[in-house]
Structure 1
Amino acid sequence: MRIAVLSDIHDNVWKLAPALEFAAGAGALICCGDLCSPFILDQLARGFSNPVHIVFGNNDADTFRITAKAAKYPHVRLRGEFFEDEFGGRRVAVNHFDNIALAIARGGEYDAVFYGHNHVFDIRKSGARTLAVNPGAIMGCRFDAQANRVEVASTFAVYDTETGTAQGYRIGAGGEVAPHP
């Protein structure tokens, strides 16, 4: 089973659309938070027909309207701030925050831990068992310690439960999707 892993959309509908098109064949989609506006949930739900699992991030302020929109889509599940589940025989945990997710990954209880928050694409092995995956940000930028905007690639990842590996993808300016890094 392939799982599309997205995070930190921050209302970037222009980069979300090609990610969803590319991910259409995946068995599930996991969003690690920061949709931002409730209308993004509509785009996620309409653009991906298989199960969609979403955790809230620190910029998902209007949880009331996000929840109301999610109720219209039977294949969308809001999972709070943390969830764990099994996909294709692999135990997976999801949280928005990098510091929490990496601590969970170090515990070695899961095959994969997905997270976002810092907008930094990263796939790494944590201990002998766990793959920690930050798909980066669909948004396409991050902010440094002085709150300066730093351009980064718009990225997402696809996790393969058969191999236990993940591959990153970059969304180009014209919407083209290519392997990353």
Structure 2
Amino acid sequence: MLIAILSDIHDNIWNLEKMLPQLRKAEALIFCGDFCAPFTLKMMADGFSGPMHCVFGNNDGDAFLLSRIARQADNVTLHPQMGELEMGGRKIAFIHYPHIASGLAASGKYDAVFSGHTHEHKAEKIGPTLWADPGEVMGRFGQPSFGLYDTDSGEFTLHVI
């Protein structure tokens, strides 16, 4: 199973628009926070047909409207602070904050942990657990990017748009 991993859009709907066609090969999407405005979540829900699992970031101001949009979309599950899933036979956790994600990865409870917030992509192993940050969709501090996690191989690949 191929899962798209995104974070830190910060309302850059122009980069999101470029990215969405590249996500078609993914069966699911995990978002690690910072949509910012609710219209960004709406655009994601309309543009990606598979299940989407999302968490809030530190810049997601209108939690009420974001939650309402998530409830109205058939494919969106909004996990308030942290998400825990089993997908493709892998235990996965995701959160916006890397200082918490590193502890989750070190716990050994998960096959993969994903986080955002830093706007910098990374992928490393902490024991047997993959800890990865897909970078930022926004593109302010670096090139806009997303990740693909292959649950069959356990590999995480970075894609720059």
TM-score under structure 2 length normalisation: 0.98
Report the Cα offset of residue 124 of structure 1: 0.7
Kept after mapping to 1: 8 A contact 2:91/2:112: yes
Partner of 1:20: 20
Q: Does structure 1 residue 140 correspond to structure 2 residue 139?
A: yes
Kept after mapping to 1: 8 A contact 2:54/2:83: no
Deviations 1:114-144 (CA, angstroms, capped at 9, x unpaired): 10001110011111x1000100010112xxx
Q: Secondary structure in 2 aligned to 1:33? A: coil
Distance 1:83 1:31 in 2: 10
Deviations 1:68-93 (CA, angstroms, capped at 9, x unpaired): 11121111110111011101000000
Partner of 1:45: 45
The correspondence of residues 11-160 of structure 1 with structure 2, limited to 5 A, is 11-127=11-127, 129-141=128-140, 151-160=141-150
Q: Secondary structure in 1 aligned to 2:118? A: coil
Amino acid at match of 2:132: V
What percent identity do the matched residue pairs reach? 46
Q: Does structure 1 residue 162 correspond to structure 2 residue 161?
A: no
Q: CA RMSD in A?
A: 0.8
Deviations 1:30-62 (CA, angstroms, capped at 9, x unpaired): 100000000001110011000011000100110
Amino acid at match of 2:56: F
Distance 1:19 1:158 in 2: 12
Larger radius of gyration: 1
Aligned residues: 161
Q: Secondary structure in 1 aligned to 2:72? A: coil
Gap runs ≥5 in structure 1: 142-150, 172-181
Gap runs ≥5 in structure 2: none
Report the Cα offset of residue 17 of structure 1: 1.4
TM-score under structure 1 length normalisation: 0.87
Amino acid at match of 2:142: V
Q: Secondary structure in 2 aligned to 1:113? A: strand
